[in-house]
């Protein structure tokens, strides 16, 4: 992916803190903006993982878990229609809708090498790690006759070390994302398998 530097590090307005939308409204935006079903599924998968991680691992309350979920649901919303302005368009849309600045910052920092925005809090760091790994795990499941059924962490790890498999997934991004968090890749991959396998 080419770089799309956003050229700023502050997003949204602090007075909109806690201002969130229902996941159904985010899904409606996806249905309007993202004709590609596979890309929609990717965002739903990342959203499910983000929400589950917030609740199970960060002890998040309902509002916080919703922030994690919305960031996952919307992080690539503009990718298909505006590939040359990826991230900028959805960010501006969410700013127009007065959405919580943490959600917008999370989306803006989901690819620091591309958008030039550093992940700051745990939500930012986790979406960066989950984004690439979720797509990779899905690719590893799709080539199996039984898909997610019986998919093992060790086979995903082996494929990660095979540069030709899902070559579009940046191993450098994964390494960089993992260096920013404490959770080992084995644990993250298992968490991803468990929480995205039934998303449709
Ligand atoms: Fe993504």
d(CA 112, CA 127): 11
Per-residue pLDDT of the chain (200 residues; tens, 9 = 90+): 678 899 999 999 999 999 999 999 999 999 999 999 999 999 999 999 999 999 999 999 999 999 999 999 999 999 999 999 999 999 999 999 999 999 999 999 999 999 999 999 999 999 999 999 999 999 999 999 999 999 999 999 999 999 999 999 999 999 999 999 999 999 999 999 999 999 99
Q: Give me ligand 1 centre to Cα 128, in Å.
A: 9
**What number of residues does the chain have?**
200
Residue 3 phi, psi dihedral angles, 5° rounding: -80, 145
d(CA 100, CA 94): 8
Q: Give me ligand 1 centre to Cα 111, in Å.
A: 9
Structure tokens at 21: 């939308």
Residue 7 phi, psi dihedral angles, 5° rounding: 70, 15
Of the candidates 148, 12, 161, the residue with the CA atom closest to the CA atom of residue 92? 12
pTM above 0.95, yes or no: yes
Q: Give me ligand 1 centre to Cα 132, in Å.
A: 7
């Amino acid at each position: 992916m080419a770089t799309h530097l956003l050229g700023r590090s502050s997003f949204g307005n602090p007075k909109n803190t806690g201002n969130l939308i229902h996941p159904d409204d985010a899904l409606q935006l996806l249905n309007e903006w993202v004709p590609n079903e596979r890309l929609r599924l990717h965002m739903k998968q990342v959203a499910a993982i983000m929400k589950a991680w917030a609740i199970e691992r960060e002890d998040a309350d309902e509002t916080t878990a919703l922030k994690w979920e919305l960031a996952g649901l919307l992080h690539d919303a503009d990718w298909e229609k505006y590939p040359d302005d990826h991230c900028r368009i959805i960010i501006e849309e969410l700013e127009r809708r007065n959405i919580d600045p943490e959600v917008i910052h999370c989306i803006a920092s989901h690819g620091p090498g591309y958008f030039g925005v550093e992940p700051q809090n745990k939500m930012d760091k986790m979406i960066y790690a989950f984004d690439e790994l979720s797509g990779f795990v899905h690719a590893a499941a799709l080539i199996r006759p039984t898909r997610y059924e019986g998919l093992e962490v060790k086979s995903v790890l082996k494929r990660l070390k095979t540069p030709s498999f899902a070559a579009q997934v940046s191993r450098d991004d994964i390494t960089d994302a993992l260096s920013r968090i404490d959770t080992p890749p084995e644990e993250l991959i298992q968490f991803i398998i468990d929480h995205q396998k039934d998303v449709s």
